[in-house]
Structure 1
Amino acid sequence: MRWLVRLAILALIVVAVGLWLTRPRTDAPDLLAGLVPDADNGEQVFHAAGCASCHQPEKATDETRLVLSGGQRFPSPFGTFAAPNISSDPEAGIGGWSALDLWNALHHGTSPEGRHYYPVFPYGSYTRMAPQDVVDLHAFLETLPADPTPNAAHDVPFPFSMRTALGGWKLLFLNDDWVMQGDLSPQLERGRYLVEAMGHCAECHSPRNLLGGLKTGADWMSGAPNPAGRGSFPDLTPPEMSWSESDLVEYFTSGFTPDFDTAGGHMALVVENLAHLPEADRAAIAAYVKALPLD
């Protein structure tokens, strides 16, 4: 009987250590202490981060794009996820969140209630965002309309419905290291921040492994199948991406390609966001794309 008791104790210790290692992480309030919010910069962060693209209601027009009531649905091999309400409504939305709550959501994928968020919320990229930009984004979100639309439920089957397992996913794939390394120019550093952090471009344009983690190295930004099962996201590395930097800047501004086609689908919403940024930022994104592929 002693070996059974010892085995049970060992199993309990292993489970306890595993739960501790995979617990939802948060940071202390002093991380954001002394940062003064700038809602004007927060508006630029909002557009760069593409918040409206996912959280605006279905078929939103110009007048309703800033009503972030959620509801869009995103099919994937792991289930179908519904974008939540992130309006300033204190009950249905995130109007009751502090800047620290937003930081923990973006940086750790942890809710104010201490639960793991699914990585369909691209905190795998947002984790690289700077504290000041998060504080500024929080200030801007507070200026947007409140909407009482309740959140739609995700349709995620077992075992993916077990959020505890997401802690293990984070241990494997969540880190704030930059993918493009080296001695970068100021323009490339800005482009890297816009692409790898706020713009979360790789979430669509990079392939994933069986567990849903983004592949890096030569696979980074090399295109990926659409998780909804319709078509694919294009390869942004040469020779597939043959556009010049000026072609890319024009595309990010107007949606027109060098072949006189236009951006469609979800990319049209991305262009709407990018068009709000300073031209220097669009040029920085173009410079990053033209610096691909990575070794």
Structure 2
Amino acid sequence: MRRRALPLTALVLPLALPFVLVTGGGARAADADAVARGGYIFQAAGCLGCHTNEKAGGAPLTGGRALATPFGTFFTPNITPDPVHGIGRWSDADFLRAFREGVRPDGAALFPAFPYASYTRMTDRDLLDLKAYLFAQKPQPVANRPHDLSPPFSWRFLVPGWQLLYMTAGPVADDPSKPAAWNRGRYLVDALGHCGECHTPRSLLGGLDQSRYLAGTPDGPDGDKVPNITPHPAKGLGKWSDSDLAMLLELGLKPDGDVAGGGMGEVVRNTTSKLTAEDRAAIVTYLRGVPPKE
């Protein structure tokens, strides 16, 4: 009696099934790893504080927080994965372009109240891990509030000119002449933590004055005075010990027993206290090597 030939799928499926199961599980594990890594980047980049209107009881990451500046008041956007009011329709390329080039998915320039001039230094992997984390959060259908800006600062078509003046797109390579801790500290300070956005004075057009990098300013966010964090012995942190700096980053405690308040208190609560001890030490290493500024 002639045997009936088995369908090709009957032969292939038993062989392919273990591969499908293994690779499928591997993909899920990879996604979970990306979300976990992205959660750490999320904290190091200070996303929670800016994109949550905590004073008004807003849900996390739904935006609406007011950022008062000399150019008007900006209201942070919803960055939950809601497809209408959030970033749920953003592709990986959209996300990378926003952080790397300061451009929205529709091609319009983003206002630099979003510190992409610093975030552009982030690696692609960290950016995509951050996106994985954000897309793993609960979508929140909270509409964005329009900025309160007056001309010419409300003219978005002028922003590309600002970007040409004050932004160099792309990640920054490690300096091979420096130790690994210094390079990691620079990445945490300049890219993820975007510390210069608050601690560096700005020009009349709102760009960072790099000649006074981290020297502090009386015109910080919401009009608050922001201190000098260079190692200047009189005006900066030159008299602080390494443990003093580490204690501030971890617990918000100053050498005189005072506690960091205002914006820095928020940074400690949401960001630097969440870092590993090694990363906080790297920040200290880098800040120690910054040229003192008066």
TM-score, normalised to structure 1, is 0.81
Q: 1:53 to 1:214 in 2, by over 3 A?
A: same
What residue in structure 1 maps to residue 277 of structure 2?
Answer: 279
Per-residue CA deviations over 1:211-262 (Å, capped at 9, x if unaligned) read 1111113x11000123456341000111221211211111111111111111
Partners of 1:251 and 1:155 lie apart in 2 by 34
What residue in structure 1 maps to residue 27 of structure 2?
Answer: none
Q: Is the 8 A contact 1:48 1:274 kept in 2?
A: yes
Q: 1:182, CA displacement in angstroms?
A: 7.5
Q: 1:179, CA displacement in angstroms?
A: 11
Equivalent residue in structure 2 for 1:197, among 187, 191, 200? 191
Equivalent residue in structure 1 for 2:99, among 95, 100, 106? 106
How many percent of aligned residue pairs carry the same amino acid? 42
User: Which has the greater radius of gyration?
Assistant: 2
Partners of 2:259 and 2:289 lie apart in 1 by 24
Unaligned 5+ segments in structure 1 are 1-35
Q: 1:60 to 1:191 in 2, by over 3 A?
A: farther
Per-residue CA deviations over 1:103-154 (Å, capped at 9, x if unaligned) read 1111111011111111010001001000000010000111112211110110
Q: 1:228 to 1:186 in 2, by over 3 A?
A: closer
Q: Is the 8 A contact 1:179 1:216 kept in 2?
A: no
Q: Is the 8 A contact 2:61 2:78 kept in 1?
A: yes
Partners of 2:210 and 2:175 lie apart in 1 by 12
Unaligned 5+ segments in structure 2 are 1-29
Equivalent residue in structure 1 for 2:180, among 175, 186, 192? 186
Q: Is the 8 A contact 2:199 2:220 kept in 1?
A: no
Amino acid at match of 1:174: M
- Aligned positions, number: 256
Q: SS at the partner of 2:206?
A: coil
Amino acid at match of 2:90: W
Aligned residues: CA RMSD:
2.1
Amino acid at match of 2:107: G
Equivalent residue in structure 1 for 2:260, among 252, 260, 263? 263
Q: 1:229 to 1:274 in 2, by over 3 A?
A: closer
Per-residue CA deviations over 1:158-192 (Å, capped at 9, x if unaligned) read 11111111111111111047599672110000000
